[in-house]
Amino acid sequence: MRVAEAWRVALDALRANRLRSALTMLGVIIGVASVVLLVAIGTGTKQKVEQQVEGLGSNLLLVVPGKIEVGTAPVVSPLTLKDVDAVSRVVGDPQRVAVTVASGATARAGARSDFTTVQGVLETTPAVFTRSLARGRYLTGTDVDTSRRVAVLGDSVARALFPDRDPLGQQVTLAGVRFRVIGVFAPLGQSLGVDRDDEVHVPVTAAQRLWGTQRVDGIAVKAPDRERIDELGERIVAELNRRHPDTEFSAVTQQQILGVLGDILGVLTGVLTAIAGISLLVGGVGVSNIMLVSVRERTREIGLRKAVGARPRDIGVQFLLEAVLLTTIGGLTGMALGVGTALLVDALSPIPAAITWWSLALAFGVSAAVGIVFGVVPAQRAGRLDPVVALRAE
């Protein structure tokens, strides 16, 4: 009964001061909306990154010299094709092993040119990385063995050099050496802000000759089964360490890459959300302020209620409910605004955004908590008012 009265009175108080209530809610609305939006963008980005890393192919193991850690300098690779053969023996199936030796180079065709990444690879690349061709064929074992000057173009490169011609069979000049186009990749799109179609694949042997090197930058292995992928990585690293005692090697799985990326994104999202949370806090201070005003305005009413039998707690609950109503109504509105903005951002901009139920539950919970935290002082003050003093208030 008493709680029902407190609800009625709290709602009535908000209704009696519509504009003031709305302005007070605005602080909470903005805070909650930005929290919901930022969490949605963080979640969306993470999901997209995960998709893309998964899209590299399943059970992938990347073997590179040096440590994979944020802030460590890249190491000059001591790896050669002999090491690749050794790794193939460890894996037991050469078809599961891919390599890369990459460098930036200018590709020319006639009057057109495009700066791109030239990758020297084995014929196994499409199988290991799950890549498919739009046209033509990929490199063969023979192409690699004979270091034939043939090239497979990424979609972007093909468009840049041959906007109005079929590139198949055409000549491209890479770092001054002529190659024949034998295939064009199906487009992959962007990944982490990188155009994955901006590359040219040539036989690793041809690339090494092009740059006058024996080195291989990294080795990728498609593990036969997911369960033993870590063990396989350890065996490969052990073999490479045996062959190159002076260099450290790392074998990372997709899961580890995801973990590192996820950590980075998590920190970013956390920082942004904390900033949004501060605006929610500021909104809470506004609520506290307006509740103190409300208590002052209604001091005589408080005195009268006490005179007719309201206990301190009845009065306190009434004002606490008023504060909580302010913040939860503001919170719900903010949630709606945040969700709406997130959906718009996702649909109309390249930034991905994904709504999660927990972020909504959190936003609602936090806004209710803000109401309690910032309403409790004014409510206590109201509850403790001396009835005689309150009745005499102006």
Interacting residue ranges for other proteins, rule: CB under 8 A: 1-2, 4-5, 12, 16, 300-301, 303-314, 380, 383-389, 391-393
For tokens 């997709």, what's the residue?
A: 254
For tokens 């002529």, what's the residue?
A: 178
The residue length of the chain stands at 394
What is the C-alpha to C-alpha distance for residues 335 and 362, in angstroms, rounded to an integer? Answer: 10
Instruction: Provide the minimum distance between the beta carbon of 291 and other proteins in the complex, in angstroms, as a whole number.
Output: 18
Strand pairing class (194-195; 190-191): antiparallel
Of 323 and 382, which CB lies nearer to other proteins in the complex structure? 382
- Collapse the DSSP code of 320 into the 3-class scheme (helix H, G, I; strand E, B; otherwise coil) and give the result: helix
Tokens in use for 67? 């440590």
Of 222 and 306, which CB lies nearer to other proteins in the complex structure? 306
Q: What burial class does residue 279 get, using C-beta atoms within 10 Å of its C-beta: 0-12 exposed, 13-18 middle, 19+ buried? A: middle
Of 59 and 318, which CB lies nearer to other proteins in the complex structure? 318
Q: How many CA atoms lie within 13 A of 47 on its CB side?
A: 13
Of 2 and 180, which CB lies nearer to other proteins in the complex structure? 2
Measured from the Cβ of residue 134, the count of other Cβ atoms closer than 10 Å reads 12
Contact 203, 139 (CB under 8 A): yes
Of 3 and 238, which CB lies nearer to other proteins in the complex structure? 3
Of 286 and 303, which CB lies nearer to other proteins in the complex structure? 303
Contact 57, 33 (CB under 8 A): no
Q: What is the dihedral of CA 283, 289, 292, 297, to 10 degrees?
A: -100
Contact 40, 196 (CB under 8 A): no
Instruction: Provide the minimum distance between the beta carbon of 292 and other proteins in the complex, in angstroms, as a whole number.
Output: 17
Contact 149, 179 (CB under 8 A): yes
What is the C-alpha to C-alpha distance for residues 320 and 338, in angstroms, rounded to an integer? Answer: 26
Tokens in use for 181? 């186009």
Tokens in use for 167? 């590139």
Of 154 and 303, which CB lies nearer to other proteins in the complex structure? 303
Amino acid at 201: H
What is the C-alpha to C-alpha distance for residues 324 and 194, in angstroms, rounded to an integer? Answer: 47
Of 285 and 388, which CB lies nearer to other proteins in the complex structure? 388
Instruction: Provide the minimum distance between the beta carbon of 296 and other proteins in the complex, in angstroms, as a whole number.
Output: 14
Q: Which residues contact 45 (CB under 8 A, 6 or more apart)?
A: 265, 269, 351, 352
What is the C-alpha to C-alpha distance for residues 140 and 336, in angstroms, rounded to an integer? Answer: 56
Q: Which residues contact 134 (CB under 8 A, 6 or more apart)?
A: 155, 184, 185, 186, 187
Of 233 and 383, which CB lies nearer to other proteins in the complex structure? 383
Of 18 and 242, which CB lies nearer to other proteins in the complex structure? 18
